[in-house]
Amino acid sequence: MDVVLAQPRGFCAGVVRAIEIVERALALHGPPVYVLHEIVHNRHVVEDLRRRGAVFAEDLTAVPPGAAIVFSAHGVPRATYEAARRRELRVVDATCPLVAKVHGQAQRYSRSGATVIVVGHAGHEEVRGTLGSIDGPVLLVSSVEDVAALPPLEGELAYVTQTTLSVDDTRDVIAALRGRFPQIVGPDVDDICYATQNRQAAVHALSERVDALIVVGARNSSNSNRLRELAAQRGVPAWLVDDASQIEPAWFEGISVVGLTAGASAPERLVQGVIERLREFGTLRVREMRGIAENVSFGLPEEALRALASRNARERRSA
């Protein structure tokens, strides 16, 4: 069997930054460092950090007052920052800068008097954070059908989108919004992030040349689900797996070329694990497609990390 690796695949700059923030916080502060929600949607990453002293909490009430806490890459509602302040928590914010940009844009629209429509999936953490960053009227739509079901809306209207949607779905939903509400405004460049776009473009190209596709990623990872759906929509059987243990030999009967990619929060070692598992089925030729080379990186919240270190040093001195 031939295996064609997608390029690019796996970790994006926001995920690399979020993991590095937890690692730096652990090094500067020492365990435990609390993390609100999964730092990124991948249980392997979460388990690894847990072993090193990170404590994952779903709610701030589970975090002792004064503790160090990292907010996940998906962003949090404004109320969460306020609750953390009230509990005197030492916050290091790992919200991806591209998500923070969407929050800023949504807040500007709202302050200018617009009703904001968020295009995204209900219940996803990023969407909860974006909805909760807007003080004024806000609505959520996920599909063209949702747009048709909106009540008549007068006055100024604006939209923002979740960063990890499918480029195609967003295009259709935005077209439906523009069709129903000609006055609606949106960002100059859409909010789908570079990593989502590049990974989807790679799957588009791969779908032309493979018989099946494996996506390594978590069930609750929005961008990983979109990659699987994209291939399926193009008639390519596609499976989303957490890791090699979920690979079924029966999937590959009659398949000679299989594509392999990974969502933005899946570590490369899991991709390599899948290759090793596929080797158990017979001879494998592995190659990588030519694709977009990414060189994006985001800086760390140095000030918050420094504050963590200096307060920790003060506490050690006075102990």
Select from 99, 116, 118, 247 the one that contacts ligand SF4 (CB under 6 A).
Answer: 99
| Residue number closest to ligand SF4, CB atom | 14
Instruction: Determine if 193 is a binding residue for ligand SF4 (CB under 6 A).
Output: yes
Q: Judged by CB under 6 A, does residue 46 bind ligand SF4? A: no
State the nearest-atom distance from the C-beta of 195 to ligand SF4, in Å: 4
- Contact 46/38 with Cβ under 8 angstroms? yes
Q: At what angle do helices 222-233 and 194-207 cross, to 10 degrees?
A: 30
215 or 278: CB nearest ligand SF4: 215
Judged by CB, which is closer to ligand SF4: 96, or 216?
A: 96
User: Counting contacts by CB under 6 A, is residue 142 touching ligand SF4?
Assistant: no
CB of 296 to ligand SF4, least distance (A): 7
Site stretch for ligand SF4 (CB under 6 A), options 76-84, 95-103, 151-159, 267-275 = 95-103
Give the binding-site size for ligand SF4 (rule: CB under 6 A).
15
Residue 164 binds ligand SF4, judged by CB under 6 A: yes
Instruction: Select the residue interacting with ligand SF4 from 161, 196, 221, 225 (CB under 6 A).
Output: 196
Q: Which is nearer to ligand SF4, 1 or 131 (CB)?
A: 131
Site membership for ligand SF4, residue 75 (CB under 6 A): no
- For ligand SF4, the binding residue among 5, 15, 67, 206 (CB under 6 A) is 15
Q: Is there binding between residue 13 and ligand SF4 (CB under 6 A)?
A: yes
What does the binding site for ligand SF4 look like in residue numbers (CB under 6 A)? 12-15, 73, 96, 98-99, 163-164, 193, 195-196, 223, 264
